[in-house]
Structure 1
Amino acid sequence: MTEWKGIAASSGYAMGRAFLLQDDKVGIPERILAEEEIEPELQRLEETVDSAVEQLEAIQESSRDKLGEEQLEIFSFHIALLQGSDYVKSMAANIKAEALNAEAAVRQATGKFVEMFENIDNEYMRERAADFRDVGSRLLKILSGIPDVAWDESGEKLILVAHELTPSDTAQLSRDKVSGFVTNVGGKTSHTAIMARSMEIPAVVGLNGILESVRPGDFVIIDGNEGTVWINPSAESISHYQDKQKQFNVQQLELRTLIDAPSVTADGRRIELAANIGNPHDAHHARQIGAEGIGLYRTEFLYMDREDLPSEEEQFRAYREVAEAFGMESPIVIRTLDIGGDKELPYLGLPKEMNPFLGYRAIRICLDRTDIFKVQLRAILRASVHGNIKLMFPMISTLHELRTAKQVLEEAKQELDEANIPFNRELEVGMMIEIPSSAIIADQLAKEVNFFSIGTNDLIQYTLAVDRMNESVSYLYEPFEPAVLRLIHMVVQAAHKEGKWVGMCGEMAGDLTAIPILVGMGLDELSMSASSILPARSLIRRSNVQEWQRMTEKVLQMDTAQEIKAYMGLAFPEIHN
């Protein structure tokens, strides 16, 4: 019996015999075309793109019985990548400018976009690289005459083991034949993981080397809650996980009853549970799974999969779609462009920096490039008449920065007035607290905004001077460090003193161990991945906020993160077992 630890991508338990899906290694011929071959090769690429669109439309249609509309939108996104996008334009440019054959042109363009997204220090954005790999692989298979994946037809339910599964691979899984899957690579926010959760297929990803270590027919247990995989377990372990599987199924049925329930504690305190999204498709999914609004719309996604800036009209349509998905009452917090640092836009020609996270990024770029900033601000303002939109500035470190950003916003409003274009004049304006300096002067900043949203991903990193992407020091990245908790508490107190609401949109907001502390501090809103909303709602509804406040008072007096986590583990054993 061997144990593997990976990333819990889709919750639940599964067991069965292993079926290995070996990668199709597509041979990619590369050659330089003669001048007279260029036009025919462009035509060949165009026909290949058309075929790929037809395949994706067919997969989308055949998957309607097992995927919801929001998950089917993933294929709409892949189709959009093939219809007039800069991704396909880049392939055509490679053929024209470099006289590359179509296979090499596709590979080069795909590699460029994959690298761009993989280098982003944001899990959601980083996982979008898999979408380009999926579409690129499909194009190369069509060019090479390789058929799409054929699944095993045995009558036994299997555990699928692969290097990587693309979203289109996942959509073609039969729940009658596949009880779960494990992969060498992947992340929790990949489209493949999202679809696995939608289809309720337990999955563990990021198990580097498991494809090479499992033999066909090995018995496999997947613990999609803990991210654990067992190969050839004992009879005792199998019995243990069969019991856990039954308990989990009962719990999932109970959670579904909370989709439309209010997020109110047993003693009457309401906590708004919102979702973090990167595009309009995510908003529809979040709405379906019980989100009460959007607490963070990462608008940089609109800027990433292209070779030039999105127009004001394009941005307006995207923001309006998200607002209309939730209606006029539900809040939609749109963060202005947070680009730079690790999130590169080649077409902006941003300088290479020694310390990009401390450099020319986010609001600093926007205040320097007000031409870009105003386009986005006008688009957000125009969309504000279609829903309860709120605007949020990222990476504010000083009061001067905040005031300057607000001045640019006023200029954008004036431009719309001059053009007789309507917008919500009562639009709430807030800012992220993600830099220690802004937390320390939160009392000053709170006088000038309508709300705060605490971005713990960066706040923890900056407070503890830890690069969370650096494996050598990542163990120091600890949300429960007293310094971090005290800064959060300070921000909440400063906001409430001025009568302003305060939320949190970092990963900590969806951590069931942290939620009692955060609610005990007085946070008004928690924004998280959509899949975390129902478990968080269940915890909140069976709680007493006064008890959580007393617990939080004790936690804020503790000396170490280890002491705090041990205390919370004893207080909430159901979360840790």
Structure 2
Amino acid sequence: MGSERSEIRTLQGVGASAGIAIGRVRITDRRRVNVTEYELSPEEIPAEVSRFAKAVERAKAELSFLRDQLMTTRGPEHLCVIDAHLMLLDDTMLIGETAESIRSLGINAEGALKRTLEKIKTFFDGIEDEYLRERAGDVETVVERVLRNMVGEKQESLAQIEGKVIVVAHELSPADILQIDKSKVIGFITDLGGKTSHSAILARALEVPAVVGMERVTREVANGDMVIIDGASGVVIVNPGPEEFRDYLQRKQRFEYLERELFKLRDLPAETPDGHRILLKGNAEFLEEIDSIRRHGGDGIGLYRTEMLFFNRTVLPDEEEQFRLYAAAVRAMSPQPVTIRTLDVGGDKFLPDLDLDDEMNPALGMRAIRLSLRHPEAFKAQLRAILRASALGKVRVFFPMVSGVAEVRAAKALLEEAKLELGGKHPFDENLEVGIMIEIPSAVVIADLLAAEVDFFSVGTNDLIQYSLAIDRTNEHLVSLYEPLHPAVLRSLKMVVNAAHAAGIQACICGEMAGEPMYLPILLGLGFDELSMNAISIPRVKKILRRCTKAEATQVAAKALTFATAAEVESYLKSEISARFSESFD
């Protein structure tokens, strides 16, 4: 039965996975375990350590059982997140420090585990990048599983849900999402979560409409309420009336029609009417995302992030562990190419075993290629793993946050050492292509010098815009100043393309600008050879590309470069799209 509350209410959350779902609410209990910390007598401590250890082992057994189930129902490409959570249950910082806190502080296991969680979360609190900051959610998910085992609480599996429903929960773990049967769970809404959380990424990969970050939705709706969710805008309508129902039913039908039409482009080349071909690839971090890239017609992976293996650990992943992940990605994407980015994090936040000093401004500190070069043995382990994966399919490697030629030469020298260390023990591509990310203004200024050192450029527009305009894009007071169409940004992009082509190498983009359909005429006109984006954006960008000639785009880009402000560029771009390409934006 539905709720007696019948008033129409419109709630706003974060759109996490596009699509419209209309159905009845099914509330699933995923509330956090309430923890009380209390002191133990010395005699109670050994038993408490043992109780904690048993809860951890039960959590491992549950995840291992789920892993076996998913191997059968979804295949090996959907096990990456489960494997990551299993690794956390062996992590010395999470598990070892908790056991030590029980002994040294004389407190109960739940209290000690919560203390450890808070300590780990401080590693993430100051991170500017939302995508990286959301990784703290994985630690919390694992902690909640252990806590539930300690207090004896069981959770209903989403695989057991019957009927067509929209699941509402405080939060859903990646394991929850992977158990969803799309014929029964047609969408979900959560109090917690962000657009770049693992659960949101998996929802997009599995194409389940989702709205997250609602804060109080579990208190705002009741079992049986009729709701409409718009996974693109983040709108949730509770107890819709006839008018809202008709409106969103039409939107749903239109969305699904457009998706079917876009899917017809999947196997067609990314080519303009006048015969200019560029590559449209996908960004990925999880194996689950690769299937989505293939389904949406991607020409490969233009950015494969490697940070997942390094999160929440005190011991760096070894060569074998990294090789297994990279090899799985290459096999899953074969015969299309995979471009792997070396570690792009700051050691002060993610790798405490490196014993780095705290930094006042980590965004400008010891991170990315700087961190890798400071720890050459760890860097070479990653390079050896990438090299070995290159024997299984087409692989390229690129280095993040490069600011000068010296860094490139040092990284390439370590790559050559890694090749020698592999020797005849493992095969690899002797001609592995090497590139760099262009995301710092200094790299733009000396792009001609850098082009002589590498095989391709990949522009990280997110950071390039942030660094060029001195804008923290996570600062809500500065959002209006984060302008991708700022003349300084457009001129920087032109300089990068010109330097790349003068040297005979490719110019690519792997930032958010690549997946924004409205920017396609400018990026095409500037001369970029490859765009890498979220999988769902590939057919939308391809649709415009196949209706926009290179000659038209060149004219648009040239004119856009003459304006003095981002607002003027945007106004011009919208008028040109309306006049020339309006059909492509339907």
By the TM > 0.5 criterion, same fold? yes
Measured after TM superposition, the shift of residue 213 of structure 1 is: 4.3
**SS state of the match for residue 360, structure 1?**
coil
Cα distance in 2 between the residues matched to 1:366 and 1:186: 31
Counterpart of 1:315, as a letter, is: Q
Cα distance in 2 between the residues matched to 1:319 and 1:422: 15
TM-score (norm 2): 0.87
Cα distance in 1 between the residues matched to 2:40 and 2:245: 58
Counterpart of 1:189, as a letter, is: T
TM-score (norm 1): 0.88
Partner of residue 429, structure 2: 424
Provide Cα deviations, 1:492-523, integer angstroms capped at 9, x if missing partner: 11101111001111122111222232122111
Provide Cα deviations, 1:283-323, integer angstroms capped at 9, x if missing partner: 45544554322222222322223112222332233333322
Partner of residue 352, structure 1: 358
Measured after TM superposition, the shift of residue 542 of structure 1 is: 4.0
Distance 1:387 1:241, change over 3 A: same
Cα distance in 1 between the residues matched to 2:304 and 2:54: 36
Measured after TM superposition, the shift of residue 224 of structure 1 is: 1.7
For residue 509 of structure 2, the aligned residue among 504, 507, 512 is 504
Distance 1:63 1:304, change over 3 A: closer
Q: Identical aligned pairs, as a percentage?
A: 45
Partner of residue 462, structure 2: 457
Distance 1:105 1:398, change over 3 A: same
Cα distance in 2 between the residues matched to 1:321 and 1:416: 20
| Conservation of the 8 A alpha-carbon contact between 2:348 and 2:362 | yes
For residue 180 of structure 1, the aligned residue among 187, 190, 193 is 187
Counterpart of 2:285, as a letter, is: G
For residue 145 of structure 1, the aligned residue among 142, 149, 152 is 152
For residue 297 of structure 1, the aligned residue among 300, 304, 321 is 304
Measured after TM superposition, the shift of residue 257 of structure 1 is: 4.1
Counterpart of 1:390, as a letter, is: R
> Where in structure 2 are the equivalents of 1:95-244 lying within 5 Å?
95-117=102-124, 119-149=126-156, 157-171=164-178, 173=180, 175=182, 178-214=185-221, 219-244=226-251
The farther-off stretch of 515-524 and 177-186 is 177-186
Cα distance in 2 between the residues matched to 1:292 and 1:508: 18
**SS state of the match for residue 386, structure 1?**
coil
Provide Cα deviations, 1:42-94, integer angstroms capped at 9, x if missing partner: 44334323333443455556678985753454334434433577644444444
Partner of residue 398, structure 1: 404
The farther-off stretch of 130-139 and 33-42 is 33-42
Partner of residue 264, structure 1: 271
Cα distance in 2 between the residues matched to 1:372 and 1:62: 34
Counterpart of 2:382, as a letter, is: Q
> Where in structure 2 are the equivalents of 1:249-398 lying within 5 Å?
249-280=256-287, 282-283=289-290, 286-287=293-294, 289-327=296-334, 329-340=335-346, 343-398=349-404
Answering whether residue 532 of structure 2 is matched by residue 527 of structure 1, we say yes
List gaps (5 residues or longer) in structure 2: 1-7
Partner of residue 466, structure 1: 471
Partner of residue 518, structure 1: 523
CA RMSD of aligned residues (A): 3.3
Distance 1:494 1:263, change over 3 A: same
Distance 1:499 1:174, change over 3 A: closer
Distance 1:267 1:36, change over 3 A: farther
Measured after TM superposition, the shift of residue 14 of structure 1 is: 1.9
Measured after TM superposition, the shift of residue 355 of structure 1 is: 2.2
Measured after TM superposition, the shift of residue 479 of structure 1 is: 1.1
Partner of residue 562, structure 1: 567
The farther-off stretch of 213-222 and 308-317 is 213-222
Answering whether residue 546 of structure 2 is matched by residue 546 of structure 1, we say no
Measured after TM superposition, the shift of residue 552 of structure 1 is: 1.9
Cα distance in 2 between the residues matched to 1:17 and 1:85: 43
Partner of residue 4, structure 2: none
Cα distance in 2 between the residues matched to 1:397 and 1:153: 52
List gaps (5 residues or longer) in structure 1: none
Measured after TM superposition, the shift of residue 122 of structure 1 is: 3.4
